[in-house]
Every structure is written in structure tokens, then in C-alpha cells.
Amino acid sequence: MTIHEVLEKYWGYKQFRTLQEDIINAVIDGNDTLALMPTGGGKSICFQVPALINEGVCIVVSPLIALMKDQVEQLQQRGISAASISSAMSHKAIDKTLDLAVEGKIKFLYVSPERLQTELMRERPKRMKIGLLAIDEAHCISQWGYDFRPPYLQIATFRELFADVTCIALTATATPKVAQDIQDKLNFKSNKKVFQKSFARDNLSYSSILEEAKEQKLLKILQNIKGSAVVYLRSRARVEKTTHFLYQNGISVDFYHAGLENDIRNKKQEKWIKGETNVIVATNAFGMGIDKPDVRVVVHLDLPDSLEAYYQEAGRAGRDEKKAYAVALYNLKDLAELREKTLQSFPSIDTLKRVYQAIGNYCNLPIGYGEFDSYDFNLAEFCEKFSIAIQDAFHSLKRLEEFGLIQFNESYFQPSKLMFILKDKKLYEFKLTTPNAQPIIDLLLRLYGGATNHNFVRIYESELSNHLKLSINQVKNQLLRLQELNVIAYQPQKDQAQIMLLTPRIAHENLPISLPKWEIKKNNAINKIEAVINYVTQKMRCRTQTLLDYFGENYNVCGVCDNCIERKKEAKKLAEENTDDFQKIKKTLSNGALPIKILIEKLGLKDEKHYLQMIKTLLKHQVLLHQEDGRIVWNE
């Protein structure tokens, strides 16, 4: 099939979006490719379409279990074979999934970067026909990025095993320094291609408002801007408190955060997507995999840690390309807290070592053991047991993760899944020789027949319990016994936080964390916070221009942000007060840009001081602009 036939067959679209076709063709032609595309720009299609055109499995490296799960489910719903490997899976389940990839029965295999360090993932892919290596959230490979993850550095070593396989790296947010770092760290070949879609969103109006009564201002915004909305806050308690306030004031609202059970989160998300709830108040746990085009406003009641995060979250507004708004509400206390919390998020190295030692003891791991084993983890219980402040423990877990020592999934839910290993004649023979197992096997085949087709399918132990008249624990024990006998691969439900050591346990005093590296990370985080503070507090420069400059893109002015609108008002007032002079300057520049000296001469030397002052005022309000060559141009 052609790429257009693939697009229409599996996605139902007749045309690609801007840049998608160019990126896809570059990948098909064998070029290592970096695709920089804003959130909602359709990044996934850029590697999924060429992977379907090429022979072989596409290995996709992705940092988040929830993101992998979401993409695998979407592909399966389109009739495309896909699977993921995560720390929550049993060794048997991982082994079986890799076998299916070797046999060519899986087209997309999603793995975490940590998984690439295992011997199994270094050896088994050598038996696969690999058609493409796709690196999602590629900014994670750069220490200059806002979400650096050391395990991403292992991808280059993995690539060396498959030197002829084309690589595509994708990210929604990367500064020029990060973009170059991605290419270097992934060992892009000389025929590499880089595509960057403009970060500009012409339909999105950015605003930043200094406001003490933030909840009241939020209420007014939601009353004035009709339609779907997202409100972001940093803490779960404030999410619920703000939701209650809005509900009390007649807003159709619900809340969402990682502390809720998975089914409840899904129901809340579904109601909002269907329009049954207008406003969702959430932490940054909300948004992944959500493609709701008609969001009219995104409000940040708390400021995020970086402009990358802000751009991604604000960018969930207006994906239907109709007018939408991104509003940041802040007060001076918020700015002080943001700086303070950034410093607090870097505990001392001694605290890190103490927390790491406690993790090993909590999981009962001797020195030299525990690599890639996953454990249920209760943060409150952990802190109480080892007398560690929750704030110190939480930040330490995050930093230990960044240093590639652990993987910490703060909120994780995986439903029970099952796949038959024995099939047809061998399964029939097993039932004859093990009659006690026949009732549960027959019920599994009747309820979950898809489990025989090389797929893990979701099962419900409660449903099996009702049919078999057994307790849920008895059902689980029977399933685990069938797994021991190699009849099935069974993954029991997990709904607790998970922690995994990415190396054998190290003596805490030998942790490979140096003070210079620690200071670099700390300064990088501080610089990102200051960029956020600069964005919200500056009152003259176009907001879109500020954001795009951060991402290395030259941009004029948007004309629709709060600062641009205010400048237009000032320019209009100036024009009304100085009509003749205003029109004279405009007419003089009507044929193109001029150096300021020549512009003054054309306006009349006798009024030089007057016009010079007026030109400075117009430049301040960006009615006039300085070009790179120093000439002045009219900007209206």
C-alpha cells in the first residue's frame, strides 16, 4: 500500500497534516529523522505509517507506562498488532511477548528505556526483523531538557546492535540545544533529516494575569468563555478544593488526579470528552493521550516548572483551530513559592543516600541483588517505617530516578490480563490429563477466546468467581497454578505505586552521584523556573514571541495575546492623540523599512527630537519593529 492508502485504511484520513508526509517519506527513504512537532500535531502517525509500510517490527521506546498502554490500545483498536513490555509484567509474560515479536506476530513493540539495559532485550531482538526504531519523548535523552532520564542514554548502545535500522526521534518541545543533543546522543547518521513544525498557534490567545483572588477570577473566566475547559493545579488537595468552589458556583465541573482509582479516572475523563462535564480541574496527570479538539480555555491556577510543560499543557486548547485561550493566573506569593519549591526539590546528597538505603531495606534486597525486579510501594508506609519526611522521600525518589538508579511509578494501574500458551491439541490433551483444571480453562475459552490468538486480553477474576462459584482468591490461585504449568501467561491486576531498581542494589555510600553533576541539574532547574517567571511577569513583549524564542524560533508578533492587545490599545490612543504625526510615520514607512537616521530626515529635521521620542514609543509598543539589519519597519 501507499502511505496515503495506509493512512485512510487505519486512521480514516485522506490527507496528512503539515510536515507529516515529508517526515514519513524521509523515514521510508532510510534517513535518521528528528521530528519536532507541538502537542496534538500528530507525531505518532509519523512513525506508525512508515513502520506499516516497512517490513519487520517497529521498536518504540517510550518513558511512561501509561503512554505505552494508551498507544498500544489505540493501535489494537485499529486492527494493528501491538504490545508493550513493562516492569509490572511477569518474566513469563515478557518472554512470551518477545517470542511473538520474533515470530513476526507483533508489528509494534513498546518498551521503556530502562528495559533496553536488560540482557533479554539485547539478545532477543537480534532474532527479530526490525524495520524501525522510534524514540518517543526524545527530549528525555538530553540533560539540558526539562525531563532528562539517564536510561535514555542506553538507546545509543542498543542502536549499535542494529546499525542498519533507521531511527526516528520525536518530541513536542525542544530548545535548539536539546535538539542538537538528541541527534548527537542517538548517533544520527550523516544523511539525517530534521523537521520542525512551527510552535506558533495562531488561534491561541495567551494571557498572564497578576491576581490575588485567583479563584474568583477563574470563575469569571469560565463564565465568560463557554465550552470545554481544563484547569491545572499542582496539588491534589487544591484540585478537589477548587472543584468544590466551582461546583458551588454553578459550573459543570469534575476533578482528576493520580490518587484516584483507574476506573474512576477513566469515567471522569470520558464524561469530559463527551461534553457531559464542561470543566475538568486536574494535576498534570491529566492530558496524556487525550485528543479533545474543542477545548476553549486552559487555565493554570498554579505555574508549572518549565515553559516546556506550560506549552504542552496550554496547547491542549484549540486543537480544532478555532479561537481558544491559555490563561496563567499568579500572584507574588506564587512566584516566591515556585522558587522555594524548586530548591526543595533538590534534597542533599546525604538525604538521597539515606532514601536509597531505605528503599533497599523496604524491598528486603541484599547488596548486589534486585536489578529490574518490581515491588509494590506505599509512600506513606515507607516514610513512617524509616522516619523520613514525605517531601524529602518524594523528591529523593524523583532524583534517584533521574540518575538512572530506580524507576518510580507514582500512580500505576494495570488490569488483570491473560494469554494462552498451550493451544489446540496440546491444550485438549492437558485438559484430559488434568480434569480439575477443565472448568476454569473451558470458562476462560468461552469468555475470553481472544486469549488464544497471541494476545493478552483483559480478564475479570470477579466474573470467573461468579461463574465457578469460587472465591476470588481461589480463582487467582488456580490461574497462578496454570501459569506454573505453562498453560497460560497470567498478569494479576496491579493498582499500587511501583518501584524498581535499575541496577543491582549498591551500598548507599557508593552511590554514583557527584556534587558537580548535582549542581548542574539544580542550576538547570532554576533557569527553567526563571524562564517561567519571566514569561508570566513581562508586560510588553508578545507572549507567543516569548515562548517561541525560548524554543529557538523567530516570530514576529501574534496580535492576539494580552500584551499584543494592550499594545494595540496604546497605539490607538497614541494615534488619536497624534493623528498627523502617526500617519506621517506610517506613510514614510509604507514603501519598506528604513534606517532610523533616514526616517528622521524624511520626517523633517526640525522636529527630530519630537519624532525620535515618538518612534521610541512606537517601538516600545511594537507598532514599529527593529529588523536584524537595524532598519525600522511598520508592524500593523
> pLDDT tens for residues 180-219?
999 999 999 989 999 998 888 889 999 999 999 999 999 9
- Specify which of 165-169, 289-293, 628-632 reaches the highest per-range mean pLDDT: 165-169
Cell of 192: 539525517
Residue 328 predicted with pLDDT over 80: yes
Half-sphere exposure of 585 (CA within 13 A, CB side): 30
Query: Tell me, what's the pLDDT at 116?
Result: 85
- For domain 340-413+497-525, the question of CATH label 1.10.357.10 is answered with no
Query: Tell me, what's the pLDDT at 618?
Result: 79
CATH fourth-level superfamily of 3-196: P-loop containing nucleotide triphosphate hydrolases (3.40.50.300)
Cell of 431: 485438559
> pLDDT tens for residues 424-441?
889 999 999 999 999 999
Residue 549 CA to chain centroid, in angstroms? Answer: 21
Model confidence at 495, pLDDT cuts 50, 70, 90, reads low
Q: Which amino acid is at 62?
A: S
For the domain bounded by 562-634, which CATH number is listed? 1.10.10
Query: Tell me, what's the pLDDT at 277?
Result: 94
Residue 243 CA to chain centroid, in angstroms? Answer: 24
Q: How many C-beta neighbours within 10 Å does residue 469 have?
A: 8
Sheet strands side by side (includes 279-282): 204-210, 324-330, 295-300, 228-232, 279-282, 253-256
Q: Which amino acid is at 450?
A: G
Q: How many C-beta neighbours within 10 Å does residue 24 have?
A: 25
Do β-strands 167-171 and 33-36 pair in parallel, antiparallel, or remain unpaired? parallel
* Residue 232: strand pairing partners: 282, 300
Q: Which one-letter DSSP state was computed for residue 152?
A: G
C-alpha span between 354 and 352 (Å, rounded): 5
Residue 433: which residues within 8 A CB-CB, separation 6 or more? none
3-state SS class at 509: helix
Mean pLDDT of 34-39: 86
CA angle 416, 419, 423 (to 5 degrees): 155
Residue 233: C-alpha distances to residues 192, 238, 295, 326 (Å): 40, 7, 17, 14
Same CATH topology for 3-196 and 204-330: the answer is yes
C-alpha span between 106 and 112 (Å, rounded): 17
8 A C-beta contact, residue 133 and residue 59? yes
Mean pLDDT of 557-576: 84
CA angle 341, 359, 145 (to 5 degrees): 45
C-alpha span between 518 and 511 (Å, rounded): 13
C-alpha span between 631 and 410 (Å, rounded): 54
Mean pLDDT of 31-40: 87
> pLDDT tens for residues 54-64?
999 999 998 87
Residue 473: C-alpha distances to residues 54, 439, 478, 484, 492 (Å): 46, 16, 9, 16, 11
- The residues spanned by each domain of the chain are 3-196, 204-330, 340-413+497-525, 417-491, 562-634
SS (H, E, C) 9-49: HHHCCCCCCCCHHHHHHHHHCCCCEEEECCCCCCHHHHHHH
> For 204-330, which CATH class?
alpha beta
